[in-house]
Structure 1
Amino acid sequence: MYKIGLTGGIGCGKSTISDLFKQLAIAVIDADEIAHALVAPGQKALIQISTHFGSRFINSDNSLNRSLLRDCVFQDPEKRRQLENILHPLVYAEIDQQLSQLTSPYAIISIPLLIETRMQSLVDHILVIDCPMEIQVNRVKLRDRLSDSQITAIINSQVSRTERLTNADSIIDTTQGLSSLGQQVNTLHQQFLKQAQ
């Protein structure tokens, strides 16, 4: 199975690009979706988070208080590392499990923290989804209703745009409209089909 690691900073357009590959009948494994499922009520990761960080991060309906945890970990690098030590092994184990069941000619694995977690060896090709920082900030502000300082803290916790681009085998620029994105995805799709043979 030929594996494409799709990565990029917050607000760069990873979900949009993933959706375009899905429209081409290509399997997409999303690390964020996996992480989301792992912290559902009763799941192992949520229990570990409650034990490690305290019950104040759990809502009355036993769901994770995401905004409180996000504020906590993005203000304290050590707490962020502790959370990653709980989640990342479980996320990567689930990625392996899902990969073993695929029949697609190649797979897109959307991993926002691919470079940060030094997991480049997991994939055969790194596809970076890119846009300037001011566009990232505006998109996240519209989508997540976060403050500038919260968005900046998240961006600063990720590798720099320069480092991400340095690691890229391919880059999609998401500053253009949907038709341009579709063309870029189609071009890469043909390339990946050849490389997957």
Structure 2
Amino acid sequence: MKNPFSVGLSGGIGSGKSTVADLFAARGAAVVDTDLIAHRLCAPDGAAIGAIRDQFGAAFIDADGAMNRAAMRDRVFSDPAAKQRLEAILHPLIRAETERAAQQAQGDYLMLVVPLLVESGDWARRVTRVLVIDCPESLQIQRVIQRNNLSEAQVRAIMASQATRAARLAAADDVILNDADAGALLPQVERLHALYLSLAAKMSQRL
């Protein structure tokens, strides 16, 4: 990216980050999604698979050679030390791949989708603005149960490991409320896209 203006998009599980990111991408933003990068790293022959097998054993690799997500989810949410070990494997790889993708991205401005942006202060410092996708916690739970076929207890455990809704809102420069249908998202996206184009143009002029 020639223009250094960047937006860090974040939000809790089930808030609709991917949906909103797709709307910005359709309008010309260069979107780099760290969740998609993490999935590629943990796919068959992904760069993280060898280290995951070494650290956790073959039981955490499925028959296709990818990380066994269900087994790993159960492990890390019951064992904080295991969560730290997994993060020690993934986070440096995600960071390196994100930097590479950002350098190659083409668009009006860069948007990094980072689910744990607020939890990791380092990510927040690396973007120009923080955009949080917000919705009621009850709606998060409903969406994730429907999407991932998890129990309410599992969803609540995931949410408990993330920043609180209040903490995310406190860290936000901009907020999109995603508590209705796509039609309610569009005017919010359009308003912020226009703002980001303006800010990116001003930053470019100062270079």
* Short-chain TM bin: over 0.9
| Residues 28 and 108 in structure 2, CA contact (< 8 A), matched pair in contact too | no
Of 82, 85, 89, the match for 1:86: 89
| Residues 26 and 104 in structure 1, CA contact (< 8 A), matched pair in contact too | yes
Q: Letter of the aligned partner of 2:140 in structure 1?
A: Q
Partner secondary structure for residue 111 of structure 2: strand
Moved over 3 A (4+): none
Extract unaligned runs of 5+ from structure 1: none
**Taking structure 1 as the reference length, what is the TM-score of the superposition?**
0.97
What is the alpha-carbon distance in structure 2 between the residues aligned to residue 75 and residue 132 of structure 1?
26
**Taking structure 2 as the reference length, what is the TM-score of the superposition?**
0.92
Q: What's 1:163 paired with?
A: 167
Extract unaligned runs of 5+ from structure 2: 202-207
Whether 2:78 is the aligned partner of 1:53: answer no
What is the alpha-carbon distance in structure 2 between the residues aligned to residue 106 and residue 87 of structure 1?
26
What is the alpha-carbon distance in structure 1 between the residues aligned to residue 139 and residue 29 of structure 2?
28
Whether 2:133 is the aligned partner of 1:124: answer no
RMSD of aligned Cα (Å): 1.0
What is the alpha-carbon distance in structure 2 between the residues aligned to residue 170 and residue 59 of structure 1?
40
What is the alpha-carbon distance in structure 2 between the residues aligned to residue 189 and residue 70 of structure 1?
35
Whether 2:110 is the aligned partner of 1:107: answer yes
Of 192, 196, 203, the match for 1:192: 196
Q: Letter of the aligned partner of 2:13 in structure 1?
A: I
Tell me by how many angstroms 1:77 deviates: 1.8
Question: What does residue range 13-24 of structure 1 map to in structure 2 within 5 Å?
Answer: 13-24=16-27
What is the alpha-carbon distance in structure 1 between the residues aligned to residue 46 and residue 81 of structure 2?
23
| Residues 17 and 133 in structure 2, CA contact (< 8 A), matched pair in contact too | yes
| Residues 2 and 105 in structure 1, CA contact (< 8 A), matched pair in contact too | no
Q: What's 2:35 paired with?
A: 32
Q: Alpha-carbon deviations, 1:37-77, whole Å to 9, x = none? A: 01122222111011001111011222221111011111222
